[in-house]
């Protein structure tokens, strides 16, 4: 049981690293694009959040639901998607 939680934690960590890597890549690309236009860093982040907030929320929700379902299997309870 302890090994499954360690594996789950490692999986979550890798997913978080992937999210952050993708986000930082987009920040770098946007920074290059916006610096040519003379925009401020605040506008870069604002633009990125507006473009990606739905995607990040959806992926975070799916990860949380997966984690709850995994935990419920260990406890023998049901988790509903609501």
Give me the mean pLDDT over the 32-45 stretch: 67
pLDDT surpassing 50 at residue 21: yes
Express as a percent the part of the chain with pLDDT over 70: 39
Secondary structure of residue 44 in the 3-state scheme: helix
Express as a percent the part of the chain with pLDDT over 90: 0
| CB neighbour class for 25 (10 Å; exposed up to 12, middle 13-18, buried from 19) | exposed
What is the Cα–Cα distance from 6 to 3, expressed in whole angstroms? 5
């Amino acid at each position: 049981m302890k090994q499954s939680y360690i594996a789950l934690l490692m999986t979550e960590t890798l997913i978080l690293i992937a999210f952050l890597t993708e986000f930082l890549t987009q920040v770098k690309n946007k920074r290059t694009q916006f610096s040519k236009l003379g925009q401020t860093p605040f506008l870069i982040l604002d633009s990125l959040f507006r473009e990606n907030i739905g995607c990040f929320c959806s992926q975070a929700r799916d990860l949380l639901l997966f984690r709850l379902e995994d935990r419920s299997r260990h406890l023998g309870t049901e988790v509903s998607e609501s």
